[in-house]
Structures are given as C-alpha cells and as structure tokens.
Amino acid sequence: MNDNKCPVKVLVVDDDERILRVLNDMLIPNGYDVVLAKNGTEAIEITRKELPDIILMDLMMPVMDGVTATTEIHKKWPNINIIALTSFKEKEMVEGALKAGAMSYLLKNISAAELITAIRGAVSGQSRLSPEAAQVLIQDMKHSASQVLDLTDRENEILTLMVDGLGNADIADRLVVSQSTVKFHVSNILSKLGAVSRTEAVAMALKNNLLK
C-alpha cells in the first residue's frame, strides 16, 4: 500500500485494449504508477504481486468478471480500494459491485477530471457514485418504501403477529377470522415485500423497522 512517499499505484482492469491505453495515458501524466490487467484473473494475480493502492475495475470481462474479481480481492486485501468503472447502470450491476466490495461505482462516460478526483478521493477512503448509479439505488429504495406503504392495516396487523412468532392458526384465533383468510393475507404480505418465506418477511420487518 501507498506510504504517501511513493506515487499512488493504480491497477486498471479492462478487456478493451483501447480503454486500457486511454486510462494509462490519462493517469501517468497525473503522477500515478499504472499497471494493467485484461480480466479478473489477471487482476487477482497482479494484485498479489503489486499490491496497488487503487483498482479501476471493469465489470463485464471474459475469463473472470469484475464482480467476482472484486469479491476475491476485497476478501484477501480489504485495504485496497476498488472503483467499479463500467458502461452498465442496471440496479443488479450496481448492487452486485457494491456488495462485492467496490467503494465507488462510476460510468465510463466520466470526464478525465472527474475520474482523477474520484481516485484522489478513494485514496483517502471517499466513495463516489455516478449520478446514474445513485438514481437506480434511490428508485429501488422508493420502490421498497412504496411496497411497505401498500400494506393494508390488516396486513400490518398480521405481520406484527408473525413477528411475535404466531402461526396462521394462532393468528386466526387472535383476529377471529378463518385460517384461509390469514393465509390469503400472509401471501399478499410476502408478495408486497418481495419475500420468499415467512422467515424472510419477519427478518425484513425487523431489519427495516416496518412495523408501526
């Protein structure tokens, strides 16, 4: 890792030779020590040998994709800051990269000045999201919130009893309704929360403070 006396070492990972050349020619004049890799497998090998300070990681590559490589590198060298640099802004890609350990998510349409600023920030632990990546995450949060708001009073009541550990029969007795009615409401709750089981629904309710 950088000791503040040597140039910051940046590993650029991309399967596009043109992108590698452009980034190499952009970073070197700004005082960075640059090493290059063409896929995730090479990135892991070079990281082991070079221990870069920052990694600019493309996500869609042959041999090994960037999310897999990010996961492995972050697991073995958690102090190395990884910036996802990609053309994709889909929610799954953004979430996948961030969950894998990337500290920032930028699109390749970023300007040279913005990229240099992001790298300088990464050296001191500052995260950055492209406006497009931030937007898809915000939209996902809004969608999740709307799902919660869509729960009816009865569904909220049943969800509370589920959190208390009651089964369908006990909930039916408590609310003086049929078990089939409870089952219907539970199914709606799972659907609205995007949960695949009662356990997951309860966990989501507790984690996200859904109960009124």
Domains for the chain: give ranges and CATH numbers: 9-139 (3.40.50.2300), 150-207 (1.10.10.10)
Task: Please state whether 163 falls in left (phi above 0), alpha (psi between -120 and 50) or beta.
Answer: alpha
What is the reported pLDDT for 118?
94
> Which stretch of DSSP H or E encloses residue 74?
helix 66-76
What is the reported pLDDT for 202?
83
What is the reported pLDDT for 143?
55
What is the reported pLDDT for 141?
55
187 near 181, Cβ under 8 Å? no
Q: Which two tokens stand for residue 173?
A: 């007795």
Question: 85 has which bridge partners?
Answer: 106
What is the reported pLDDT for 130?
87
pTM to 2 decimal places: 0.66
User: By C-alpha distance, which of 157, 63, 71 is closest to 55?
Assistant: 71
Coil, strand, or helix at residue 138? helix
Angle between helices 91-100 and 131-149 (to 10 degrees): 100
Residue segments in the chain with a per-residue pLDDT below the cut of 70 = 1-5, 137-149, 207-212
Q: How far apart are CA 171 and CA 115, in angstroms?
A: 56
